[in-house]
């Protein structure tokens, strides 16, 4: 029973991005151009990083972006990606 409750809590935390935003990120991967990305770190501060977007993927129902330096950022922490409409998030 506890496992079901834990799974239910996990589902409440799941906040998928809209498909248009995901499609734009996939296009950014294909473009092989550097992008500036601003995201919220684990302490609530804003961080800026630049690099190629190498991958956009989902793991355990959480969506991530992986940069060329292997930095992995959950998409729900992304505030801005240069030339990508982050407002497409749900």
pLDDT tens-place string over residues 33-87: 888 889 999 899 999 999 888 988 888 888 899 999 999 999 889 888 887 656 5
Q: Give me the CATH number covering residue 58.
A: 2.30.30
Number of domains, the chain = 1
Which pLDDT belongs to residue 87?
52
54, part of any domain: yes
Q: Which among 48, 46, 43, 44 has a CA at the least distance from the CA of 71?
A: 48
pTM of the model: 0.68
Residue 9 makes CB contacts below 8 A (sequence gap 6+) with none
> Among 1-10, 13-22, 81-90, which stretch is predicted with the lowest mean pLDDT?
1-10
9, part of any domain: no
66: domain range? 15-88
């Amino acid at each position: 029973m506890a496992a079901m409750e834990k799974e239910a809590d996990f589902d409440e935390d799941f906040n998928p991005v809209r498909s248009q935003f995901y499609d734009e990120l996939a296009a950014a991967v294909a473009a092989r151009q550097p992008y500036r990305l601003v995201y919220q770190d684990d302490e609530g501060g804003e961080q800026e990083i630049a690099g190629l977007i190498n991958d956009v993927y989902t793991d355990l129902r959480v969506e991530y972006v992986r940069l060329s330096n292997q930095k992995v950022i959950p998409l729900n922490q992304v505030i801005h990606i240069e030339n990508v409409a982050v407002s497409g998030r749900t």
